[in-house]
């Protein structure tokens, strides 16, 4: 009994054609996902191949069958090329170097050219006859070197694709499920092809086109359902735009190749003006950006001011797989508040809040280093002074008036002393002044001037103890000497400056 298999076979092949075509359109629509482009072309090639085979099975003449075979090759010639490119792109997570698609597309196009001119040279196949089996038209042909070239290319592409997938499968466990689907999708038509060449099918049907149904399904799951790679470019685009900081992407020549909305706001430029522009020609950037080209650092931070705001620029070099730098990402962050906060904290840590002179901790921290530089040739002197009868000011005029008196002393000290002097509130109504490159005699002059100004302007006197470093003593010993001189100045009736050498008790004892 002759069973009519034609409707079933053509229906299945047309389903495979439509499914592949739909998958191709779907893939092309995911154009921001590099793999999807190659997947789209592959599905289109499969769709053409399936349509061609459906046509061949329903042909009625030798010429018709030949035409449909040529259509099949229009798809089949490119299937190996697109399979490799899709897998490579999936493996690299970016487009492969241009030379690879160029080479593969050349081989595929060569096969297609051979097929198109086959009628004259028969280098690919020679169609001998057609015969009907269960109403299906099956072609009898002998094959030539062009056909073998296509077979070798096809088999090599499958081997290469599977080895790439296997390597990927081993290295990134998270990708295992999608890779398994892609591997099954790639192997299915190959198995169909093996069935053909082993002649297992009594029907002599080519099962490969039908197996492409499985391929479409598996690729769709592997590439799109798991969303391992196609979601991340979309997410990255969103983050890029949603980032509340200006961001630039530069190529190796430091030209702007991409930027977000915040960046065009920052530079006050339209997209046309920013794209392709050399970043070193832009204002509102820190100096020295042209050095980037030679930068090997992982990440660099630069601080600068723009429009009276403090900015921090983070520069990230872009490398593909640990190779040489191919570009940079520049992320700008406005840090005015942070800089002001740090400034405030530094002031609080270093300054006395009442007088705005340095505090004791700061001066005691700096003194050892200054002392280490002191010698007979580069003298260093110290003035330790105390307000006379300060308690009386507090008691008579109140604590606030006492505070104001301390503030006024602070101002007077700042105006009277040279800029090289370091003045600190030592505690209560006591002040310490360090005078680098200053002898005890010069310090005494300054101390007397300070005392006179204080009496004249503020209406109270000071007692001051002065000492000069020998370059041998410790900080504590030096302060102790100044304190002894101050104590003596108090004892001798206040309102005076005494140097260590003028006091009765030996000063060096401390
Ligand atoms: N208003 C005010 N008073 C302070 C401050 N710190 C310390 N004092 C007061 O300063 C006074 C220091 O007094 P003393 O140094 O003991 O004595 P004096 O009255 O200055 O007398 P002599 O130093 O002996 O001349 C104390 O009454 C403290 O309470 C401050 O920050 N503000």
Average pLDDT over residues 235-245: 81
Report how far residue 503's alpha carbon sits from residue 506's, in angstroms, rounded to the nearest whole number: 7
Q: Read off the pLDDT of residues 348-379 as tens digits, 9 standing for 90 and up.
A: 999 999 999 999 999 999 999 999 988 878 89
Q: What is the pTM of this model?
A: 0.52
Which atom number of ligand 1 is nearest to the Cα of residue 354?
Answer: 31
Report how far residue 381's alpha carbon sits from residue 388's, in angstroms, rounded to the nearest whole number: 22
Report pLDDT for 297. 64
Report the share of the chain in percent with pLDDT over 70. 91
Distance from the alpha carbon of residue 153 to the mean position of ligand 1, in angstroms: 98
What are the structural domains, with CATH classification, of the chain? Answer: 6-235 (1.20.1070.10), 243-339 (3.30.450.20), 352-509 (3.30.70.270)
Q: In the predicted model, is pLDDT for residue 228 greater than 70? A: no
Give the 3-state secondary structure of 436-483: ECCCHHHHHHHHHHHHHHHHHHHCCCEEEEEEECCCCCCHHHHHHHHH
Average pLDDT over residues 490-503: 88
Residue 437: CB atoms within 10 A of its CB come to 14
Q: Read off the pLDDT of residues 18-65 as tens digits, 9 standing for 90 and up.
A: 989 998 998 888 777 778 889 999 999 999 999 999 999 999 999 999
Report how far residue 196's alpha carbon sits from residue 188's, in angstroms, rounded to the nearest whole number: 13
How far, in whole angstroms, is CA 101 from its chain's centroid?
29
Mean pLDDT of the chain: 87
Average pLDDT over residues 197-205: 62
- Cβ atoms of 327 and 249 within 8 Å: the answer is yes
Report the share of the chain in percent with pLDDT over 90. 53
218 against 2, higher pLDDT: 218
Report pLDDT for 123. 93
Phi then psi dihedrals of residue 202, to 5 deg:
-65, -20
Distance from the alpha carbon of residue 429 to the mean position of ligand 1, in angstroms: 5
How far, in whole angstroms, is CA 15 from its chain's centroid?
46
Report pLDDT for 17. 93
Q: In the predicted model, is pLDDT for residue 510 greater than 60? A: no
Report how far residue 296's alpha carbon sits from residue 352's, in angstroms, rounded to the nearest whole number: 44
394 C-beta closer than 6 A to ligand 1: yes
Distance from the alpha carbon of residue 478 to the mean position of ligand 1, in angstroms: 24
Nearest 10 degrees: CA dihedral of 81, 83, 84, 89? 120
Average pLDDT over residues 79-92: 91
- Cα-based angle 448, 452, 453 (whole degrees, multiple of 5): 115
* Weakest-pLDDT range from 128-142, 218-232, 477-491: 218-232
290 against 114, higher pLDDT: 114
Which atom number of ligand 1 is nearest to the Cα of residue 394?
Answer: 1
Report how far residue 421's alpha carbon sits from residue 381's, in angstroms, rounded to the nearest whole number: 10
Average pLDDT over residues 75-98: 89
- Cα-based angle 397, 401, 403 (whole degrees, multiple of 5): 140
- 3-class DSSP state of 243: coil
Q: In the predicted model, is pLDDT for residue 201 greater than 60? A: no
Q: In the predicted model, is pLDDT for residue 411 greater than 70? A: yes
Report how far residue 324's alpha carbon sits from residue 364's, in angstroms, rounded to the nearest whole number: 50
Q: In the predicted model, is pLDDT for residue 270 greater than 90? A: no
401 C-beta closer than 6 A to ligand 1: no
**What string of DSSP letters covers 87-110?**
HHHHHHTSPPPTHHHHHHHHHHHH
- Cβ atoms of 296 and 328 within 8 Å: the answer is no
Distance from the alpha carbon of residue 388 to the mean position of ligand 1, in angstroms: 9
Report how far residue 49's alpha carbon sits from residue 78's, in angstroms, rounded to the nearest whole number: 10
| Nearest Cα residue to 381 out of 421, 345, 341, 335 | 421
403 C-beta closer than 6 A to ligand 1: yes
Distance from the alpha carbon of residue 462 to the mean position of ligand 1, in angstroms: 13
402 C-beta closer than 6 A to ligand 1: yes
- Band (pLDDT 50/70/90 cuts) for residue 296 is low
Residue ID of nearest Cα to ligand 1 atom 7: 428
Q: Read off the pLDDT of residues 151-200 as tens digits, 9 standing for 90 and up.
A: 899 999 999 999 999 988 887 777 788 889 989 998 998 888 777 777 65
Report pLDDT for 509. 41
Query: Is the C-alpha dihedral spanning 270, 273, 275, 278 positive or negative?
Result: negative
Report how far residue 474's alpha carbon sits from residue 72's, in angstroms, rounded to the nearest whole number: 96
Residue ID of nearest Cα to ligand 1 atom 6: 428
Report how far residue 122's alpha carbon sits from residue 77's, in angstroms, rounded to the nearest whole number: 16
* Weakest-pLDDT range from 8-22, 280-294, 299-313, 457-471: 280-294
Residue ID of nearest Cα to ligand 1 atom 24: 389
Average pLDDT over residues 499-507: 66
Average pLDDT over residues 294-298: 64
- Band (pLDDT 50/70/90 cuts) for residue 426 is very high
Which atom number of ligand 1 is nearest to the Cα of residue 395?
Answer: 27
Report how far residue 510's alpha carbon sits from residue 384's, in angstroms, rounded to the nearest whole number: 15
Report pLDDT for 368. 93
Tokens representing residue 423 in the block: 């003045």
Distance from the alpha carbon of residue 428 to the mean position of ligand 1, in angstroms: 6
Tokens representing residue 282 in the block: 């832009």
| Nearest Cα residue to 255 out of 279, 283, 237, 284 | 279
Distance from the alpha carbon of residue 452 to the mean position of ligand 1, in angstroms: 20
- β-partners of residue 309 are 306
Average pLDDT over residues 434-452: 96
Distance from the alpha carbon of residue 393 to the mean position of ligand 1, in angstroms: 9
Q: Read off the pLDDT of residues 465-479 as tens digits, 9 standing for 90 and up.
A: 999 998 788 999 999
429 C-beta closer than 6 A to ligand 1: yes
Report pLDDT for 506. 57
Distance from the alpha carbon of residue 16 to the mean position of ligand 1, in angstroms: 98
Distance set, CA 285 to CA 75, 298, 299, 312 (Å) = 53, 20, 17, 10
507 against 468, higher pLDDT: 468
Burial of residue 475 (CB within 10 Å: 0-12, 13-18, 19+) is: middle
Q: In the predicted model, is pLDDT for residue 505 greater than 70? A: no
Report how far residue 9's alpha carbon sits from residue 248's, in angstroms, rounded to the nearest whole number: 56
Residue ID of nearest Cα to ligand 1 atom 29: 391
Residue 452: CB atoms within 10 A of its CB come to 14
Report pLDDT for 508. 47
Instruction: Please identify which residue in the block is written with the tokens 């004791």.
Output: 360
66 C-beta closer than 6 A to ligand 1: no
């Amino acid at each position: 009994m002759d069973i009519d298999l034609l409707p079933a076979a053509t229906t299945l092949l047309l389903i495979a054609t439509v499914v592949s075509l739909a998958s191709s359109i779907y893939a092309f629509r995911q154009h921001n996902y590099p793999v999807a482009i190659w997947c789209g072309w592959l599905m289109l090639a499969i769709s053409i191949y399936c349509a061609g085979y459906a046509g061949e099975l329903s042909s009625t003449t030798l010429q018709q069958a030949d035409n449909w075979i040529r259509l099949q090759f229009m798809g089949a010639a490119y299937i190996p090329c697109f399979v490799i490119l899709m897998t490579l792109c999936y493996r690299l997570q970016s487009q492969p170097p241009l030379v690879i698609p160029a080479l593969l597309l050349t081989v595929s196009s060569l096969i297609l050219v051979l097929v198109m001119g086959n009628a004259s040279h028969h280098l690919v196949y020679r169609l001998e006859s057609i015969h009907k089996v269960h109403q299906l038209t099956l072609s009898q042909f002998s094959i030539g070197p062009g056909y073998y070239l296509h077979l070798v290319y096809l088999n090599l592409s499958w081997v290469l694709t599977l080895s790439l997938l296997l390597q990927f499968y081993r290295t990134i466990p998270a990708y295992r499920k999608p890779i398994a689907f892609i591997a099954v999708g790639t192997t299915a038509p190959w198995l169909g092809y093996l069935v053909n060449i082993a002649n297992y099918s009594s029907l002599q049907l080519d099962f490969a086109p039908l197996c492409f149904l499985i391929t479409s399904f598996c690729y769709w799951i592997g590439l799109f359902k798991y969303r391992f790679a196609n979601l991340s470019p979309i997410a990255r685009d969103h983050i890029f735009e949603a980032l509340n900081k200006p961001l630039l992407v530069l190529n190796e020549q430091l030209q702007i190749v991409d930027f977000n909305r915040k960046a065009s706001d920052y530079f006050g430029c339209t997209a046309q003006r920013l794209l392709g522009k050399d970043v070193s020609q832009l204002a509102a950037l820190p100096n020295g950006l042209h050095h980037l080209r030679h930068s090997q650092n992982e990440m660099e931070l630069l601080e600068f001011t723009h429009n009276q705001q403090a900015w921090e620029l983070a520069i990230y070099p872009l490398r593909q797989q640990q190779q040489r730098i191919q570009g940079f990402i520049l992320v700008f962050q406005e840090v005015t508040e942070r800089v002001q906060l740090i400034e405030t904290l530094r002031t609080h840590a270093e300054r006395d809040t009442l007088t705005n002179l340095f505090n004791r901790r700061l001066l005691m921290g700096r003194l050892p280093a200054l002392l280490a530089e002191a010698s007979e040739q580069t003298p260093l002197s110290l003035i330790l002074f105390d307000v006379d009868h300060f308690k009386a000011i507090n008691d008579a005029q109140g604590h606030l008036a006492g505070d104001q008196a301390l503030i006024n002393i602070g101002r007077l000290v700042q105006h009277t002393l040279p800029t090289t002097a370091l003045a600190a509130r030592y505690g209560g109504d006591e002040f310490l002044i360090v005078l680098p490159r200053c002898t005890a005699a010069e310090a005494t002059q300054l101390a007397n001037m300070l005392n006179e100004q204080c009496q004249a302007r503020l209406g109270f006197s000071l007692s001051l103890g002065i000492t000069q470093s020998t370059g041998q003593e410790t900080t504590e010993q030096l302060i102790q000497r100044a304190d002894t001189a101050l104590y003596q100045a108090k004892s001798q009736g206040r309102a005076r400056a005494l140097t260590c050498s003028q006091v009765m008790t030996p000063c060096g004892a401390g």
